[in-house]
Structure 1
Amino acid sequence: MSIDSLYEGVIATLNTQGRIRSISQQIICSKNIHDKVLLVYDILEGLDAFPKILEVAKCEKVSTYYRNQGNKKFQQSDDYRAWQYYNLSLLHAPLDSECYSLALANRSAVFFSLRKWTECVKDIDNVFSRKYPLKLTDKLNKRKSMCKENLPEELVKSNSESNKILTLQDPQGPRFPCASSKLEVVFSTEMGRHVVAKCDIKVGEVLVQEEPYFMLLLKQQYLFTCHYCLSRSLNLLPCGNCCFALYCSNKCRDSAWKDYHEVECPLMATLIEMQFTKLELLAIRTVIKARNDHPDWDSLFKTIQDAEENLGSEFRGHIKINNEWVYDSKYYASIHTLASNIEKRSVSDIFQKAVTASVFLWLLTQKTKFLESDNEEEQDNISKYAAGTLLHHIMTSPTNMHGISANVETAEGNFVEEFNIASAPYAFHSLLNHSCAPNVVRCSKLGSGKMTLIALRPIKKGMQLFDNYGAHHAIDDRETRQENLKFQYKFTCLCEACINDWPTYFTMKRAGNVPGSIIKRKDTILDSDALDKLQKGDLATAERIFRPLCEIAEELEPYAPCMELADCQESIKQCLQIFGGLVPYGYSQTVDWNAAPPKV
Structure 2
Amino acid sequence: MSGEDNNCAKINDVFEELCRQLSINGQVADISEKFSLLNSNAERVKFASELLEKYALYPEILHREKDDELSAKYRQEGNNAFKRKEDHTAWRLYTKSISYATNNSECLALAYANRSAVLYEKKLYKQCLEDITNAFKNNYPKRLHGKLIQREERARELQLSETTDRYFERPSGLKEANRKIPSASAKVEIRRTKALGRHVVAKRKIKIGEIVVVEKPFVSVLLKAHLQDHCFACLTLRYSTIPCDRCVYAMFCSRTCQQQAWEQHHKYECPMLATLYGMDVSKMTLAALRIAFVAKKHYYDLDKYNNDNDGGAIYKSQSYEEIHTLEANTHLRNSSDLFPKATTAAVVRYVADRTSPSFVSEFSRDDAAIIFDELLMHHQQTAATNFHEINECAEDEEGRYVNTSEIGAGAYAFLSLFNHSCSPNVVRYCHGTEIIVRAIKEIPADGELLDNYGYHYAVMRKADRKRELQRQYLFNCECEACVNDWPLYKNLPRSSTVDKSYDMPELESIMMGDRAEAIRILTFLLGGHLKTVACNTMPEPNKLLADFQETIKQCYALLGNRKPRF
**Shift of residue 172 of structure 1?**
1.5
Amino acid at match of 1:431: L
Q: Which residue of structure 1 aligns with residue 331 of structure 2?
A: 343
Contact 2:458 2:487 in 1 (8 A): yes
1:582 and 2:559 equivalent? no
Change (3 A) 1:73 1:171: same
1:589 is matched with which residue? none
Q: Residue 158 of structure 1: CA displacement?
A: 9.1
**Cα deviation digits, residues 401-452 of structure 1 (max 9, x gap):** 101111111111111121111110000000000000000000011xx21110
Q: Distance in 1 between matches of 2:445 and 2:271?
A: 52
Aligned to 2:313, the other structure's residue is in SS state strand
| 1:17 counterpart (25, 29, 34) | 25
Offset of 1:398 from its aligned partner?
Answer: 1.2
**SS of 1:240 mapped into structure 2:** coil
Indicate the residue corresponding to 2:6 in structure 1: none
Q: Are 1:544 and 2:540 counterparts?
A: no
Show the counterpart of 1:593. none
In the TM superposition, what is the alpha-carbon distance from 1:465 to its structure 2 partner? 0.3
Most deviating of 486-495 and 327-336: 327-336
CA distance in 2, matches of 1:183, 1:110: 49
TM superposition shift of 1:471: 0.2
In 2, Cα distance between the equivalents of 1:265 and 1:272?
A: 11
Which residue of structure 1 lines up, in the alignment, with residue 412 of structure 2? 426
The corresponding residue for 1:361 is 349
Residue type of the alignment partner of 1:305? D
Contact 2:299 2:371 in 1 (8 A): no
CA-CA distance at 1:123 after TM superposition = 1.6
2:4 aligns to what? none
Contact 1:215 1:449 in 2 (8 A): yes
Residue 450 (structure 1) aligned to one of 434, 438, 457: 434
Residue 387 (str. 1) matches residue 373 (str. 2):
yes
Q: Any conservation in 2 of the 1:371–1:383 contact (CA below 8 Å)? A: no
Kindly indicate whether the alpha-carbon contact (under 8 Å) linking 1:522 and 1:549 is maintained by their aligned counterparts in 2: no
What is the CA-CA distance between 1:32 and the residue it aligns to? 1.8
Q: Deviations over 1:562-585 (max 9, x none)?
A: 111111111111101111142112
Q: Provide Cα deviations, 1:20-75, integer angstroms capped at 9, x if missing partner.
A: 11111111111222111111111111111100000110001111121122222222
The amino acid that maps onto 1:531 is L
Change (3 A) 1:159 1:347: closer
Residue 463 of structure 1: which of 439, 447, 459 is its match? 447
Q: Which amino acid aligns with 2:161?
A: E
CA contact (8 A) 1:225 1:232 kept: yes
Counterparts of 1:159 and 1:256 in 2: how far apart (Å)?
Answer: 21
Point out where structure 1 has 5 or more consecutive residues left out of the alignment: 316-323, 587-600
- Mapped to 2, the partners of 1:85 and 1:159 lie a distance apart of 23
> How far apart are 1:122 and its partner, in Å?
2.3
Report the CA distance between 1:150 and its aligned residue: 1.6
Cross-structure match for 1:504: 488
Query: Does the aligned pair in 2 maintain the 1:552–1:568 contact within 8 Å?
Result: no
Question: Take 1:108 and 1:375, find their aligned partners in 2: how far apart are those partners?
Answer: 44
Q: How far apart are 1:89 and its partner, in Å?
A: 0.5
User: When the two structures are superposed, what TM-score results if normalisation uses the length of structure 1?
Assistant: 0.89
Q: Alignment partner for residue 242 of structure 2, among 234, 237, 240? A: 237
Which residue is equivalent to 1:568? Answer: 548
Structure 1 residues 553 and 482: alpha-carbon distance in aligned structure 2, compared to 1, 3 A threshold: farther
Alignment of 1:75-114 (within 5 A): 75-114=83-122
* Number of aligned residues: 554
After superposition, where does 1:286-301 map in structure 2 within 5 Å? Answer: 286-291=291-296, 294=297, 299-301=298-300
1:535 equivalent to 2:540? Answer no
Q: Give per-residue Cα distances to partners, 1:138-162, cap 9 Å, x unaligned.
A: 21112112222322221346999x6
Deviation track 1:325-365 (CA, whole Å, cap 9, x = no partner) reads: 32112111111111111111121111011000100111111
Correspondences of 1:98-137 after superposition (within 5 Å): 98-137=106-145
Deviation by residue 1:199-245 (Cα, 9 ceiling, x = unmatched): 11110000010111021011111001111112224321111100001
Contact 2:66/2:248 (8 A) holds in 1 = yes
Within 2, Cα distance between the matches of 1:158 and 1:282?
27
What residue number does 1:221 align with? 226
Q: Is this contact kept in 2: 1:553–1:569, CA < 8 A?
A: no
Within 2, Cα distance between the matches of 1:133 and 1:31?
Answer: 62
**Could you tell me whether the CA contact under 8 Å between 1:182 and 1:197 is conserved in 2?**
yes
With over 3 angstroms needed to count, the CA separation of the structure-2 counterparts of 1:159 and 1:169, relative to structure 1, is: farther
Task: Specify the alignment match of 2:283 in structure 1.
Answer: 278
Question: Which residue of structure 1 aligns with residue 12 of structure 2?
Answer: 4
Match of 1:254 among 241, 245, 259: 259
Aligned partner of 2:316 in structure 1 is: 328
- Cα offsets for 1:443-478 (capped at 9, x unmatched): 011xx2111000010100000000000000111010
Distance of aligned partners of 1:175 and 1:153 in 2 relative to their CA distance in 1, 3 Å threshold:
same
In structure 1, what residue type is equivalent to 2:502? K
- Alpha-carbon distance, 1:275 to partner: 0.3
| Residue 383 (structure 2) aligns with | 397
Which structure 2 residue ranges, 5 or more long, are not aligned? 1-8
Q: Matched residue of 2:438: which SS?
A: strand
Residue aligning to 1:441: 427
Equivalent pair of 1:173/1:179 in contact (CA under 8 Å): yes
Query: Which position in structure 1 is the counterpart of 2:181?
Result: 176
Aligned to 1:481: 465
8 Å Cα contact 1:457/1:554 also seen in 2: no
Q: TM-score, normalised by structure 2?
A: 0.94
Q: CA RMSD in A?
A: 1.8
Question: 271, 289, 304: which is aligned to 1:306?
Answer: 304
- What is the rounded CA distance, in whole Å, between the counterparts of 2:400 and 2:337 in structure 1? 40
Amino acid at match of 2:144: L
Q: Secondary structure at the match of 1:301?
A: coil
Q: Secondary structure at the match of 2:148?
A: helix
Identity of aligned residues (%): 34
